[in-house]
Structure 1
């Protein structure tokens, strides 16, 4: 989807994917460092970036939608945290080196070449010991009505992610059905892949 399409999706007053953080992200709270920089990738209306900021991390929410990021800032103000927002297209964004203690990639579905570029950027941008927390839909999601791309080429498999993140230590790779309750955008049974990885210290 283009930035204009995402702006249209986020134009309403309500939050398309809700204001609560992703359940897989929350489940990893005990692993998070007490200080450091975090990146919420393609963070839309900011639910995950705001939560990371609430954990004490200096958090950047990156997205191509100006409308989404404006709502992310509004949510951050409501929650009493500081959130840095960056409007950028992942096709053009220059990844920093060894910067982030945590990167959250939650339902970021990209075509093949951009996916490989982005995942290589994630690997470089994690600082030594940094964590990647990723959730994405698998091809089995095509049989579900709970959101996600309708294009098989945009859905991820365990083998694909293992290849993309071969340079990281994979701590957990889980797949199966979960019950999604993330605003009107993700609601109902979903087929997901959950990955937790760490850059070697």
Structure 2
């Protein structure tokens, strides 16, 4: 989806996905070593980035929406933490490789043809020995209507993800239902794919 789409999506006064971190990121963040450099990919309004900064990590957040990045700065300021924001289209611009101790992504909605580039971008950004963790909506989410894009082309196939992560150590992989109450855009029972890998 375009920068304009996400600027428009995030233009509401409130935080459309809420101000609290994603449950999966909350539950798995303990694996990240103290005082790590962490990259947050397709991070939107910054809720996960601010949470990780509050844990003491050095956080850089990437998104193509200027409005999303402005709201990240606002949320960070409200929580007395610093988060570096970078405007970038992660589906065709590479971030620096081997720079982070960990990288995360929550519901990075991109077209299927752009998903391999986005995933490689995130995994390449992490140093050897580092961690990557993400939660996305599966193709089955179309049947739930509780959040995410209403288009199969913007959702993820678990077989694709297993293929993309097969060269790394898989610590956690989940494909199934999860309840997410995040702002007004993710409400109720949905169908997700989660992974935690070590590079």
- Counterpart of 1:130? 130
> If the length of structure 1 is used for normalisation, what is the TM-score?
0.95
What count of residue pairs does the alignment treat as equivalent?
199
- Counterpart of 2:15? 15
How far does residue 116 in structure 1 lie from its aligned partner after superposition? 0.9
How far does residue 40 in structure 1 lie from its aligned partner after superposition? 0.8
Contact 1:158–1:173 (CA under 8 A) maintained in structure 2: no
Write out per-residue CA displacement over residues 89-115 of structure 1, whole angstroms, 9 at most, x where no aligned residue: 113322212111111111012223321
Contact 2:147–2:186 (CA under 8 A) maintained in structure 1: yes
Correspondences of 1:133-172 after superposition (within 5 Å): 133-172=133-172
Separation in structure 2 between the aligned mates of residue 133 and residue 5 of structure 1, nearest angstrom: 25
Separation in structure 2 between the aligned mates of residue 190 and residue 146 of structure 1, nearest angstrom: 6
- Counterpart of 1:66? 66
Moved runs in structure 1, 4+ residues, more than 6 A?
A: none
Question: Any gaps of 5 or more consecutive residues in structure 1?
Answer: none
- RMSD of equivalent CA atoms: 1.2
Separation in structure 2 between the aligned mates of residue 166 and residue 177 of structure 1, nearest angstrom: 23
Write out per-residue CA displacement over residues 94-143 of structure 1, whole angstroms, 9 at most, x where no aligned residue: 22121111111110122233211121222221111111111011111111
Question: Any gaps of 5 or more consecutive residues in structure 2?
Answer: none
SS class of match (1:192): strand
How far does residue 61 in structure 1 lie from its aligned partner after superposition? 1.0
> If the length of structure 2 is used for normalisation, what is the TM-score?
0.95
Separation in structure 2 between the aligned mates of residue 123 and residue 67 of structure 1, nearest angstrom: 26
Residue range with higher mean Cα deviation, 31-40 or 67-76: 31-40
